[in-house]
Amino acid sequence: MSQNNKKSPNQQEKNESIEDNFNKYTSDKKMISPQDSKEIERNIKETKKELEKLKSFILKKYSFTEAIGILPPKSLKMFIDEELGDSISEEKMKKLQKKTHLCIIIPDEKEKEMSKIKQEIIKKIEKSNQEIWIYVKTPSEIWEIGLDSKFDLLEAIGMSFPLYDKGILQVLRVSSIHKSLVLQKFEKYVVSYVVAGSLVRGDALKTSDADAFIIINDTDVKKMSRLELKERLRGIIYQYVSEAHAIAGAKKNLLHVQIYLLTDFWESVKDAHPVIFTFIRDGVPLYDRGTFMPWKVLLKMGKLKPSPESIDMFMSIGDKTIKRAKSGLMDILIRELYPGVITPSQALLMLYGRPPPTPQQTVKEMKEIFVNKEKMLEPKYLKILEEVVKKFKESEHEKLKEIKGQKIDNLINDAEDYLNRLKDLRKQIEKRAEEKTIEEINKTVFDLLKAITGKKSQASSISEFEKMVKKGKFTTQHLKIIRNISDAKKESKKGKSNLHKIDKIRKSSTTLINDLIEYSQRKDLIPLEKSRMILKYFENGKEKNAEIILCENKIFLFKQGKILKIEDNIKNSTMEEVSNEMRKQKSKKEIKIDSNSLELLKKELGEFEILI
């Protein structure tokens, strides 16, 4: 392969970017006609290398460039006629239409340099011997096309294939597609489709979007109400917004649509509504049936003037604003400040262990518990709470109908101090709760240890427990948890408790306590199991079982759902009496049964056997 045919990685990347853009621009979105799509694709394939070079040249030399786009072939005759006039020969027209036509948009402030910029770009094109024709325009010139009602030209610029775009082509493209969708469905109702906003005014940023205003003719609606017409059209028109973005390949929401009925719009013009005046002043029509432009001309001539009634209406807004502002200050007190101090106070009372208090009880309990009893909260903070509650009560009973801004500021500042103090109070409460938790865990565990080991002190209980671990009755993990509990108790007394450590101990102690209880219960059941016996006897020729529990001086017989007590004779008994005797029996090491009891059992059951 010759050196001239080789492509650098950068050049290859740039060529691919053009192809990728083209595929994204034309892939089953029907943004342009199939014929135009094929024509643009052919032109790009033939000139992509030179187009990339030309684009790089323009952007490097004129970094302020707003956009560079390839105009749709179908629109070229309109642009040639617009620039060269109708006198151009048919032969020259055909020759020009075979070229690739670029629309280059530069900022309005560079308008004086336009001629020079155009000449330098043309020289660059001539050196490359490429069939490229250029139009250099400013945004103002583009919007002027719309003001001249040359809507097809404006739409063609929007539908051009972007080689480079800071946003103007994409916004215009989305607007044009949306307009086409709306007109295709509702053309007989649409009076004007107008774009406005920062992009049209010329003060747009890279992230700017566009506002579109659609005016609907409701003057000849007969089969439905005007509002029903507006609502029906609104839903479909808004749906078309998302469709237009999808078709244009826009990554973000660029178009915001407002819909007006023609009669309502006239009413707003008559009342000199500021939004409508701004819309008329800045708007550029993408479609108009001779309605919008007369408004724009009348506004420029100073013929659109507000009525006395509208002046009165707008003047009254000031008074209403003051009333709303005063009402807003009261709302801050009632809806924000009051719950803002009451709710956290209730939370801390619950953290302390009290049931959720009512708002009326909260101030009283905060004083009784944290100020008087625990001495954890300074009285000055209680006064802040009392003041906010007092003002709320006064407003609730209509004793306070207005509050000054300065007073609200003071209350807000005081409330902020109060809430910051509550955060510290929470830490204090949690610290006490931690100490209480470790104290309870320590008592529960060592009470169980004392019962199991028979030792009184913690040290001796731990020492005895170590022996049980060595015998395999408990694990080393059990011993580790016990030591951690003992250490945490000592640290807590020194004021060095650790929240993370205590929480870990609390979780691990649950398993330890369950295991200690289970061991203690097994230990208690050993002597009791020795006192239980199963008896086999026969009744009406059928084998049956009964159970006896041997206690001191008495035997309990469980037979066919009955509980019988055998002493000197046989009597009915209860489970409560059995439980009481079994608790006494735990300390007895020997179990006895006398001959008299055996005779009474034989009398009750007949011949029987003891199953061991």
Model confidence over 236-282: pLDDT tens digits? 888 898 888 888 887 777 788 888 888 888 888 877 677 788 888 88
Q: Is 353 a member of any domain? A: yes
At 441, list the tokens.
């865990």
Residue 188: partners with Cβ closer than 8 Å, 6 or more residues away: 217
If one counts every other C-beta atom within 10 angstroms of the C-beta of residue 226, the result is: 15
Which sign does the torsion angle of CA 338, 364, 384, 373 carry?
negative
Q: Is residue 250 part of a domain?
A: no
Helix (H) or strand (E) holding 246: helix 226-248
Same domain, 561 and 486: no
Task: Look at the chain and report how many structural domains it folds into.
Answer: 4
Evaluate whether 110 touches 117 at the Cβ level (below 8 Å). yes
Q: Measured between alpha carbons, how far is 317 from 301 in angstroms, rounded to an integer?
A: 28
Query: Is 83 within a domain?
Result: yes
Same domain, 156 and 31: yes
Q: Which residue has the tokens 């342009």?
A: 32
Where does a domain end: 166, 184, 205?
A: 166
Same domain, 61 and 141: yes
What is the token pair recorded at 389? 């509650």
pLDDT at 415: 83
**Is residue 246 in some structural domain?**
no
541 and 515 together in one domain: no
- What is the Cα–Cα distance from 234 to 284, expressed in whole angstroms? 21
What integer pLDDT is reported at residue 214 of this predicted model? 92
Instruction: For residues 476 and 546, state if they share a domain.
Output: no
Task: Please report whether residue 177 resides in a domain.
Answer: no
Are residues 364 and 463 located together in one domain of the fold? no
Is residue 554, in this structure, part of any structural domain at all? yes
Of residues 104, 105, 44, 106, the one with CA closest to residue 73? 44
Answer yes or no: is 338 within a domain: yes
Helices (H), 283-378: 292-300, 308-331, 338-352, 359-365
Q: Tell me if 261 sits within 8 A of 216, measured CB to CB.
A: yes
Whether 541 and 517 share a structural domain: no
Which residues of the chain carry a pLDDT beneath 50? 1-16, 24, 26-31
* Residue ending a domain, choose from 494, 526, 558: 526
Query: What type of residue is 312?
Result: D
Residues 37 and 157 in one domain: yes
Structure tokens at 594: 């006398």
Q: Are residues 30 and 156 in the same domain?
A: yes
**Maximum Cα interatomic distance, the chain, rounded to a whole number of Å:** 142
Residue 302 lies in a domain: no
Same domain, 437 and 466: yes
Does the global pTM surpass 0.75?
no
Torsion of CA 419, 423, 429, 435, to 10 degrees: 180
Q: What pLDDT does 44 receive?
A: 64
Q: Which two three-digit tokens encode residue 90?
A: 């048919």
Range of the domain at 348: 312-403
Predicted pLDDT at 202: 66
Handedness of CA 328, 329, 334, 337 (dihedral sign): positive
9 plus 114 within the same structural domain: yes
Q: Residue 408: CA atoms inside 13 Å, Cβ hemisphere, count?
A: 18
**pLDDT score of 50:** 79
Instruction: Examine the fold and report which residue of 356, 386, 403 is the final residue of a domain before the chain moves on.
Output: 403
Indicate if 479 and 544 belong to the same structural domain: no
